[in-house]
Amino acid sequence: MNSIPILSLMILLPLFGVVLIMAAPALSLDSKNSTARVIALAVTLLELILGVLLWNNFDAGRTSFQFQEFYNFFDGHFHWYVGIDGISLSLIGLTVFLMPLCILASWKAIDDRVSEFMIAFLIMESLMIGVFTSLDVFMFYIFFEGGLIPMYLIIGIWGGKRRIYSSFKFFLYTFLGSVFMLLALLYMVQQAQSSLIADLIARRENFADVQLLLWLAFFASFAVKLPMWPVHTWLPDAHVEAPTAGSVILAGVLLKMGGYGFIRFSLPMFPYASWYFADMVFILSVIAAVYTSLVAFAQHDMKKLIAYSSVAHMAFVTLGLFSLNDWGIAGAMFQMISHGIISGALFLCVAVVYDQCHSREIDDYGGLVHRTPHYALVFMIMALASIGLPGTSGFVGEIISLIGGYRASPGYTAGVMLSLILGAGYMLWLYRRMFFGAVSDEGKDGKGRKSGMVLDLSLRERVIFAPLVVAVIWLGVFPHSVLNVLEAPVELVTRSVRQGIMDYKTHLPPSEQSAIDKALGAPRPRDVLAMEVERGLAKIKGHVQNLSTAVKTTDELPNDVAGREDMQ
């Protein structure tokens, strides 16, 4: 398997699909559209198969990058250098899992410029996989910024009434933030004399004296992409105006590039700066979790409510990442994967009623459980997963992130936990209004199809939702299927961060040294589990010993004393 350039193949295969769509003969407009849909679906399914092969041949016990490919171009001035670890693999798996579902979701919803829409999605898939496989910083930056273009077009061409405003806002926010990152990259490459990510981490001492500024430059890009409060305002507009498939891939994968950037760049390259600014990140996380949850309560548009809930859920990611321990980082990664599936499914749930009634207003619906029981069941599962119900993937990601956050800062973690209560409130409120209220005979504006006539899930929609439901429950019951893949690279990142911080410890005042010791004192998840088991066994052993001592003491009592005790 290692002899096959599978990563390059996965990056280039969608582009081959683009060529096929452009070269396909068009006997009529309908045949051209059908051909484009079939080619896009076939390519994304092939990508899914390659992703499964990649997962099955991945060695979870290795910490080094696997399936590496290195090629020089332009006399060595540009490197095509790709490879993956468990962190990359999990996000690639999320990407190839969601893409075929997005194509199916667009099968009937997109009927204008279908070929161009499919081309934009295939190009975006190529760029997203490129982001997660790049081991050269300039390759990463090209793929990272290139992904803005197809999403900008998807929102601007196939979006809603305010699509132009939303697409420009999306592009300007995300692009301007990355300008600072580009300047930082140029400086770092000059100082380290290499553009390879591994070399920049190994030679981080070369730019350590300005790492606080470099960290802020990268933070400007990744915070917008994630997004964090207060640079999140582009996200609700983009979600509301984007077509359904655009919202799914935006929430499912594109937002995760910000978290991936923190793990791949900010933490290992600027370890002391990551610790230094951790409190700032925690404060922003608490504000994001509470504020956006309260804003979600005030929404009447289903899509906008889910968009604000995404910002609140991303607060768990930033809390976990900057806890700087294995629990937090592993939980943040799992939360990103879980959120990608759950939020994508919720946007698809909105599309079911919007495609029939052309309204996203919550007040336009009611009593749907009586007419659409299968749809009500799917929506209930995803709403409960979003809340964090045990047995779903949402619970696993949130609880592991909170454990990691608690070990770093109990106070800030308690603040983020408030969003769990608020999230349960607005999601259950949404579900009750839509499914258990009175059946609405007509929409709020009196136009469009009657919400009381909404039909249950079609065969195509059941095919879309079935793997999403299975994935949410599977990851909730068997989280080790992903955590095993994440364990080795997460431990490597944590060890690199701690070593980098300890290198600066001797140059800091005693107060900061003790703070560092406290922040880095959380043991590994496996060690914590072993400690809990040992503690439990010790308690059982103590009880047994006490019981044995009591029995032995009774046996050794004089006969007259024992007899008096028996009488008593």
Of 72-86, 245-259, 538-552, where does mean pLDDT reach its minimum?
538-552
Helix H, strand E, coil C: the string for 9-21 is HHHHHHHHHHHHH
Residues 87-110 have a mean pLDDT of 95
Q: What is the pLDDT of residue 452?
A: 64
- Average pLDDT of span 147-151: 91
pLDDT digits (tens, 9 = 90+) for 251-271: 999 999 999 999 999 999 999
Q: What is the pLDDT of residue 74?
A: 74
Q: How high is the pLDDT of residue 379?
A: 95
Q: What percent of the chain has pLDDT over 70?
A: 85
Q: What is the mean pLDDT of residues 283-299?
A: 93
Binned at pLDDT 50, 70 and 90, residue 549 comes out as: low
In this prediction, residues 312-317 reach a mean pLDDT of 93
Average pLDDT over every residue of 278-307? 93
Please state the length of the chain: 568
The sign of the dihedral angle between the CA atoms of 550, 552, 554, 558 is: negative
Could you give the CA distance from residue 485 to residue 180 in angstroms, rounded to a whole number?
32
Name the β-bridge partners of 81: 70
Place of tokens 């982001």: 131
What average pLDDT does range 392-407 have in this prediction?
94
pLDDT at 104 over 80: yes
Quick one: pLDDT band at residue 144, thresholds 50, 70, 90? Answer: very high
Max avg pLDDT among 233-237, 510-514, 557-561 = 233-237
* pLDDT, tens digit (0-9, with 9 covering 90-100), for 31-54: 788 899 999 999 999 999 999 999
Please tell me the least confidently modeled range out of 145-154, 215-224, 304-313, 431-440.
Answer: 431-440
Position 531 scores a pLDDT of: 47
Sign of CA dihedral 503, 507, 512, 518: positive
What does the alpha-carbon distance between residue 122 and residue 133 come to, in Å, rounded to a whole number?
17
Whether pLDDT at 557 is above 70: no
- Which residue type does 311 have? V
Reduced 3-state DSSP string for 97-125: HHHHHHHHHHHHHCCCCHHHHHHHHHHHH
Burial (CB count within 10 angstroms: exposed 0-12, middle 13-18, buried 19+), residue 65:
middle
Residue entry with tokens 């919550």: 362
Positive or negative, the Cα torsion across 38, 40, 41, 43?
A: positive
Whole-angstrom distance, CA of residue 193 vs CA of residue 200? 9
Scanning 277-325, the segments in alpha helix (DSSP H) are 278-297, 302-321
Lowest mean pLDDT, pick from 117-121, 186-190, 479-483, 533-537: 533-537
Q: Distance of CA 85 to CAs 88, 478, 491, 513, 549, Å?
A: 5, 21, 12, 32, 54
* CA dist., res. 335 & res. 319, Å (int): 11
Residue of 551 and 187 predicted with greater confidence:
187
pLDDT at 344 over 80: yes
Instruction: Please tell me the predicted confidence (pLDDT) of residue 568.
Output: 38
Q: What is the mean pLDDT of residues 300-314?
A: 92
Torsion of CA 219, 225, 226, 231, to 10 degrees: 80
CB 227 within 8 A of CB 255: yes
Give pLDDT, residue 112: 87
Please state, for a pLDDT cut of 90, what percent of the chain lies above it. 62
pTM of the model: 0.86
Closest CA to 238 of 228, 230, 253, 248: 248
Confidence category of residue 8, pLDDT binned at 50, 70, 90: very high
Helical axes 480-505 vs 326-357, angle rounded to 10°: 130
Q: Which residues contact 414 (CB under 8 A, 6 or more apart)?
A: none
In angstroms, the CA 22 to CA 43 distance is 14
The band of 445, judged by pLDDT with boundaries at 50, 70 and 90, is very low
DSSP 291: H
Unique residue bearing structure tokens 């607060």: 315
Alpha carbon separation from 375 to 314, 351, 427 (Å, rounded): 27, 11, 16
- For residue 59, name the pLDDT band (cuts at 50, 70, 90): very high
Question: Does 370 score more than 80 pLDDT?
Answer: yes
Whether the pLDDT of residue 476 is over 90: the answer is: yes
**SS3 state at 72:** strand
pLDDT band at 443 (very low <50, low <70, confident <90, very high): very low
CA distance between the termini of the chain: 78
Structure tokens at 337: 């994967």
Average pLDDT across the chain, whole number? 86
| Residue 516 confidence (pLDDT) | 63
Nearest in space to 188 (alpha carbons), one of 259, 134, 268: 268
Question: Best-predicted range by mean pLDDT among 177-191, 207-221, 355-369, 460-474?
Answer: 460-474
What gap in Å lies between CA 103 and CA 248, rounded to an integer?
11
pLDDT in tens, 490-534: 999 999 998 888 877 666 666 666 666 655 554 444 444 444 445
Provide DSSP, 197-262: HHHHHHTGGGGGGGHHHHHHHHHHHHHHHTT-TTS-THHHHHHHHS-HHHHHHIIIIITHHHHHHI
Confidence (pLDDT) at 67: 93
- At residue 24, does pLDDT exceed 50? yes
